[in-house]
Amino acid sequence: MAYQFPTKKEKDSSAAFFFLFLYTAASLIRPHEMWQETVDWVIIKIFAIIAFCLVLVAQRPLKLLPQHWMLLALIPLIIMSGFLNGSGMFGIEESEKLFTSAIIPLFLMSTCITTIKRQHVLMGVCLIAALLMVHNGHIQQTAYQGFGWALNTHSVGYIDLGERRITYLGFFNDPNDLGMFLVMNIPFAIYFYKKSKAFMKLTMLCTLGALIYGIYLTGSRGSMLGAGGLLGVYLLVVNAGPKLFISGVLLAPIAATVVASLQRGIDASANGRLEAWYAGIQMLLANPIFGVGKGQFREEHGLVAHNSYIHVAGELGVPGYSLWGGALILTVLTGYLFIKNNKAQRHTKNNNIGELSIENERLLNKTLFFSMIGFMITGFFISRMFTLLLFIFMGMAIASHIRMIKIKPENEQYFNKSLAIKSMGYCWIIIIAVYISLKLGL
């Protein structure tokens, strides 16, 4: 059964998008945190509240999509899990964080980005933020005690031994978060390269080089694997048939576990990561319905899982992981189906305005698909289940899907409730593959 999109008269609020733009820029570039006098300003929350109110008043149609419902369903589950695990108020606090830092950004992104031009604007914000982070990180490599030009930002690691892992402001103060963001921006640079003329092509090549340089400076192995994994997934999607691609998806978690296990004897970090993965699976098996409670993984094991999928499964159990993983897999799978549909219909392409529009949207969909793949790969090695980055990029991807369906209503077959339910099952492939690998002693 295809998901029924509303057919009522549309109202598109430019003011809502303007404040969404300010919210995105403030969240990623974080200009208010560059000066001591303004570091405590709450402009991110203010922009989000204004944008949300304007959407409710002036944006039409408003419709909650499967991803929205899945994440909303997590709220009572998180609260119940908290009470059952002896931390009821903590569960309420965690559910509030989910609503403000995940559900609202996702809703705003998927609702307000109604045109390609708007999508380009926010992609530009992401690239500008990424370049600022890389430049700040470059300064950290040579500055005294590793300080950058952004307020109080400094590299981390064993600086006396030459290790300087770059950081930035806000939640980018962890090199892993910064690296994940840079990986997710690689498809954006490639997109603008393909769409631009000579000067901008050169600019995007330089941008791509800067992103790769920044990933190297983070010292994040997960981010490096994410960048390399993007190339592998690209070759699978472009050159392989659906069966080979699905086989690659099935084998990827096993391969990633093997990579981690090969470092086990020489790297204490890799050894601790495997132990955390196994501990997360044991939490899931011991508490399959409600898990150990959101935010309680560290309390149970002493460390985070270093794996977003296992972390969610251990904390929220089967229902919670199915909802979170289902929203993620549905978004990525829908993007993949659009890509394969594009290849199948390529021989029927015409040069009329409608076909040019759908071709532009197809290229954007492919770009956002690979950005989400970047998250999925890097998220396998770090615990970033509810990072704002996920929901900003997921919202962009969903907005692209909605625009494609408006241009070609027959594409609605690739965005349906049946696929949403199946995605809640497909996401368990990752957990099962890791569990089998660990049990085999990898």
Q: What is the pLDDT of residues 273-283, one digit of tens each?
A: 888 888 999 99
- Residue of higher predicted confidence among 93 and 345: 93
- pLDDT, tens digit, for every residue of 128-166? 999 999 999 999 988 877 899 999 999 987 766 667 899
Please name the amino acid found at residue 72: L
Residue 405 has pLDDT above 70, yes or no: yes
Q: Which residue type does 9 have? A: K
At which residue do the structure tokens 């000579």 appear? 198
pLDDT band with cut points at 50, 70 and 90 for residue 1: very low
pLDDT of residue 120: 96
User: What is the overall mean pLDDT for the chain?
Assistant: 86
Single out the residue in 190, 219, 248 at which a domain terminates: 219
CA separation for the pair 158, 9 (Å, rounded): 59
- Domains identified in the chain, total number: 3
Tell me the residue ranges of DSSP E strands in 147-276: none
* Residue pair 339/365 in contact by the 8 Å Cβ criterion: yes
Residues 6 or more apart whose Cβ sits within 8 Å of residue 361: 116, 400, 403, 404, 407
CA R_g for the chain? 21
Inside any domain, residue 436: yes
What is the DSSP code (8-state) at residue 101? Answer: I
Residue 251: CB atoms within 10 Å:
12
Residue type, position 25, single letter: A
pLDDT of residue 351: 47
Interval 205-228 mean pLDDT: 92
**204 in a domain, yes or no?**
yes
Q: Distance between alpha carbon 107 and the CA centroid of its chain, in Å?
A: 15
Same domain, 283 and 331: yes
10: left (phi over 0), alpha (psi -120 to 50) or beta: beta
Supply the pLDDT for residue 347.
46
Inform me whether the pLDDT recorded for 353 exceeds 50: no
Asked, for residue 187, whether it belongs to a domain, the answer is: yes
Copy the structure tokens of residue 150.
């952004």
* pLDDT over 50 at 99, yes or no: yes
- Specify the higher pLDDT residue, 6 or 91: 91
Q: What three-state secondary structure class fits 60?
A: strand
Residue ending a domain, among 193, 219, 245, is 219
Indicate the residue type of 254.
I
Length of the chain: 442
Alpha carbons 56 and 11: distance in angstroms, whole number: 11
pLDDT at 360: 85
Domain for residue 3, yes or no? no
Average pLDDT over residues 34-55: 93
363 and 262, same structural domain?
Answer: yes
Local confidence band at 350 (pLDDT 50, 70, 90 cut-offs): very low
Q: Are residues 137 and 189 in the same domain?
A: yes
**Which pLDDT does position 412 carry in this prediction?**
75
Specify the pLDDT at position 309: 94
Mean pLDDT for the stretch of residues 83-112: 89
Query: Pick from 3, 20, 116, 120: which is nearest to 400 by CA?
Result: 116
Question: Does residue 78 sit in the same domain as residue 156?
Answer: no
Q: Does residue 178 sit in the same domain as residue 232?
A: no
- The answer as to whether 1 is a domain residue is no
Is 292 within a domain? yes
Question: What was the pLDDT predicted at 86?
Answer: 75
Give the model's pLDDT for residue 302: 83
Same domain, yes or no: 147 and 76: no
Q: CA neighbours within 13 Å on the CB side: how many for 343?
A: 12
For the chain, the first-to-last Cα distance in angstroms comes to 42
Question: What's residue 114's pLDDT?
Answer: 92
310 and 282 within one domain: yes
Domain that holds residue 253: 68-112+221-442
pLDDT the model gives residue 258: 67
Judged against a pLDDT cut of 70, whether residue 373 lies above it is answered with: yes
Residues 243 and 300 in one domain: yes
Of the residues 219, 254, 280, which one is the last residue of a structural domain? 219
Residue 283 pLDDT: 93
The residue among 256, 331, 321, 255 whose CA lies nearest residue 283 is 321
Q: Show Cβ contacts of residue 152 under 8 Å, excluding neighbours closer than 6 positions.
A: none
- DSSP reduced 3-state for 151: coil
3-class DSSP state of 325:
helix
Do 270 and 350 lie in one domain? The reply is yes
pLDDT at 406: 85
Whether 215 and 225 share a structural domain: no
Q: How would residue 398 be classed by pLDDT, with cut points 50, 70 and 90?
A: very high
320 and 348 fall within a common domain: yes
Rounded to 5 degrees, what angle do the CA atoms 82, 84, 88 make? Answer: 35
- Shared domain for 143 and 75, answered yes or no, is no
Least confident of 117-126, 206-215, 329-338: 329-338
The angle at the Cα of 129, spanning 364 to 23, to the nearest 5 degrees, equals 80
Query: 307: closest CA among 146, 152, 202, 438?
Result: 438
